[in-house]
Chain A
Amino acid sequence: MITIYNARKIITMNPAHAHTTHVAVRDGKILGTGPLEDLAGWGAYTLDTRFADKVLMPGLIEAHSHLMEGSLWAYTYVGFFDRMSPEGEMQKGCKTLGEVIAKLKEAEAKITDPDAPMPAWSLDPIYFDNVRVTRQDLDQVSTTRPIGIMHASGHILNVNTKALELAGLLRTGVNHEGVPLGKDGMPLGELKGPDVMTPVSPHVGFDRDMLACDETGMLRFGKLCVRAGVTTATDLANKLPEEVVDLFRDVTARPKYPTRIVSLRYHHGISPEELIAHAEALKPQSTEMLRLGKIKVVVDGSIQGFSARLRDPGYFNGAPNGLWYISPEHLAYILENALAKGIHINTHTNGDQATQLVIETMTAALQKHPSPDHRFVLQHCQLADAAQFRKIAKLGLCVNLFANHHFYWGDEHYKLTVGPERAERMNACGTALREGVPMAIHSDAPITPLGPLFTGWCAVNRLTASGRTLGEADKITVAQALHAITLGAAYTLHLDQEIGSIEAGKRADFAVLEDDPEEIGGDGLKDVRVWGTVQGGRIFPVADL
């Protein structure tokens, strides 16, 4: 059964055949592209004209996200920016603290169980002049129900008095730098950093294993992907216990599930030996729709949390250097053994010292285990400078830069964390490409919204939320951005033989667009309307979600 689709334009990402009008599909794979007469030779076909006025691109690839994005939509969204829910409801951003409280009150009134905790997410007080949100603010919503709001960065949790009481923290004498106190000596209700968030988050309804995701969350995540034109997405940090793998295999195998999931085993909590063994055991459990066997290693913390590891001259505000989440010795063990066994490693490095450690450790590991095509990925890699990108290219490493970060926190980085010069070079897409580094760009959803076209817009324009252009020289072109969210991302996942371009033999994964991203230009890239996706030949219109 062959179907040939015609489209207003097909952007193939295959330079030999960059633009065309027809694509032939059989059994979920692409037979070929070209004018109709070139494709007719494959045999009897049905001409499907539903995309006649649409633009097709290769299915977009989100190379750094978390399935948790889907789970979070069970909770109240109180972010500053408008954000589309999986069900297609545009949630208005809360522009003042008063609006946050009002939205929480409204949601609270709908909860029938008087004791049920109320979690909310994506608060970002930097947009309210950094006003400190207190437990008294949230007590306006309820004094009897525990309430917790996760900040957009994921690094701070605000809770009400009831939540503090349940966690045993409504007392004087709490002595922790992550727990600011009020004039009464009691915690203010702001909990900074995972050490102080974890003891309280279960009391406000944030499940400990939220990162692992549940069925409902996965289904919602799939809907978000269709809305964003995404046909393959990563789940970048999962412990992947057996029951989660079973769930993922089950859900992704359903005929209506629209997203190929690539889930990475997170290094934390087990020994390097067990990590390597687990990744080896996971790989053969992969399916066409679920890819396992890759490893994520978190090397340092975050820049806005001041826990990233920076080289000189350190943090702009004088904060002490950040934290290592793995020892250099364990990192070396993992890299060496992964090279020897062909396991794909992705390292989270935010600070440039963490990146430098990976570069140096990788240099030594490659001398022991030369590997011509490892494609290990530096994830985030936000502060890398030109010299580092040159090294990265030489070592055969790839980068996946956090282009969205610039928009959401670029102003903070400029003023507070790393200062103007280094804020301008953050997520230096232009430099990476000039130095020949294979590159993807990402949202880190749910930290920022899933949407590769928006991410592309961020990399093309390098604007901050306040409108400042950060790093003119590191802007990239629309063509480069489109490559980064398709074939570039596929390459970093070792999937470029299957996906990332529309060409013979590859999966029939398409983003179906109402607007032409090549025509609309850099300014409009984020506004390209998505009609839906085709995934493995299956059609998923946004309108049917």
Chain B
Amino acid sequence: MTLPVTILSGYLGAGKTTLVNAMLRQANGKRLAIMVNEFGDLPIDADLIEAEGDDLIALAGGCVCCSYGDDLIAALGQMAAMVPPPDHIILEASGVALPAAIASSLGLMPDIEVAGIVVLADVGQIEGQLANDYIGDTVVRQLKAADVVVMTKGDIAGQGKAAAAQAAVAAHSGDAAIVEAVQGKLPLDLVLFPARVAVLEVGSPHGNARGLVTQVDTPTGRIDAAEYARALAERPDVIRAKGHVQTVDGLHIVQVVGRQWELRKAPHLAPVGVVVISLTDTENPARQLQPEGA
């Protein structure tokens, strides 16, 4: 059995820790192992922590967080040897680490499979970082390695900035999907299997800031869920959507894949909110997510 590892990269302050916490909140029974370089500014929200050791923190729902310090390979071996083993490892690389180098080192380990590389970019900072004499080339190398680039903190930076930042990222990120996240709100699967989120190119050149946007829609009040789901499915830019909405019949799960949509009663209480993944470029809706497993 191989253990999938997602490499989470991005320069200091890009929001890796926020994303990790959001992923833990969505884990939903999946046993995630989070590996961080060090516990410095305690990376995990306090309410998720069940017990703390020197380099291992036990988290709610069977998840763990461990620091790997200067021996990533040994720490990975320990994670893989846990009983029961984690379902997935999210490896938070240090701000100056090169994720491609980490991925190729992981490739040397038996029973470890790299699920992909997610690189975070702070909308307000990324252009400055790319232009920085010292770290610009490091950030470029991080972006080049990405399967998915997550634009973070766009709400702070503002929409105008977001477009420019995305263009700057797209100039280096090749085929990677570019998605937006605010407060780490992203579907967990996107982070767990970034390599499967490869975007199909249909004759369009790279580097024009086309990509994916992930937003969370929170319809207020009790709504007609069928009408809501159909409207999403009919939008040419929407690729996928999933979440909870409130109806007169109680909480429902809405799921949209392309033109297909589906409704069912929610088995548990959950906050209202639908994650919507859409194309930034509605003129060219041919780009879509490759199905999982492709």
In-complex Cβ contact of A196 among B12, B37, B74, B105 (8 A): B105
Contact yes or no, B96 A174, CB < 8 A: no
Q: Is B104's CB within 8 Å of the partner chain A?
A: yes
Contact yes or no, A169 B108, CB < 8 A: yes
User: Measured between alpha carbons, how far is A208 from B69 in the docked complex, in Å?
Assistant: 13
Looking at A44-52, A56-64, A270-278, A279-287, the stretch in contact with chain B turns out to be A270-278
What per-residue 1/0 map shows which CB atoms of B192-216 lie under 8 Å from chain A? 0000000000000000000000000
Considering the complex, which residues of chain A in the window 247-302 have a beta carbon less than 8 Å from any beta carbon of chain B? 268-274
Contact yes or no, B107 A328, CB < 8 A: no
B residues contacting the other copy or chain, number (CB 8 A): 30
Contact yes or no, A208 B38, CB < 8 A: no
Contact yes or no, B108 A273, CB < 8 A: no
What per-residue 1/0 map shows which CB atoms of B104-144 lie under 8 Å from chain A? 11011110000000000000000000000111011000000
Contact yes or no, A274 B101, CB < 8 A: no
Considering the complex, which residues of chain A in the window 299-332 have a beta carbon less than 8 Å from any beta carbon of chain B? 309, 320-321, 323-330
Contact yes or no, B108 A179, CB < 8 A: yes
- Give the size range of A's interface with the partner: 35 or more
Contact A174-B108, Cβ < 8 Å, known A208-B71, A269-B69, A324-B96: yes
Q: Is B283's CB within 8 Å of the partner chain A?
A: no
User: Measured between alpha carbons, how far is A177 from B108 in the docked complex, in Å?
Assistant: 11
User: Measured between alpha carbons, how far is A272 from B12 in the docked complex, in Å?
Assistant: 13
Q: Is B94's CB within 8 Å of the partner chain A?
A: yes
CB within 8 Å: A-B pair count: 78
Distance (whole angstroms) from the CB of A42 to the closest CB of chain B: 52
Q: Is B249's CB within 8 Å of the partner chain A?
A: no
B110 partner residues in chain A, CB cutoff 8 A:
168
In-complex Cβ contact of A271 among B11, B39, B74, B135 (8 A): B39
Contact A270-B69, Cβ < 8 Å, known A175-B107, A195-B105: yes
Q: Is B157's CB within 8 Å of the partner chain A?
A: no
Q: Identify the closest chain B residue to A321 (Cβ).
A: B137
Contact A199-B109, Cβ < 8 Å, known A269-B38, A328-B135: yes
Distance (whole angstroms) from the CB of B105 to the closest CB of chain A: 4
User: Measured between alpha carbons, how far is A195 from B70 in the docked complex, in Å?
Assistant: 11
Contact A272-B40, Cβ < 8 Å, known A199-B109, A208-B74: yes
Contact yes or no, B71 A196, CB < 8 A: no
A329 partner residues in chain B, CB cutoff 8 A:
12-13, 95
Q: Is A466's CB within 8 Å of the partner chain B?
A: no
Q: Identify the closest chain B residue to A209 (Cβ).
A: B71
A interface residue numbers (CB < 8 A to B): 167-169, 174-179, 195-196, 198-199, 208, 239, 268-274, 309, 320-321, 323-330, 353, 357
**12 sample A-B contacts, Cβ–Cβ < 8 Å, listed by A number:** A174-B107, A174-B108, A195-B101, A208-B71, A272-B40, A274-B38, A321-B137, A324-B134, A324-B135, A328-B134, A328-B135, A357-B134
B interface residue numbers (CB < 8 A to A): 11-13, 37-41, 69-71, 73-74, 94-96, 98, 101-102, 104-105, 107-110, 133-135, 137-138
7 other contacts beyond A268-B70, A324-B96, with CB at 8 A cut-off?
A195-B101, A195-B102, A196-B105, A196-B108, A269-B37, A321-B137, A323-B96
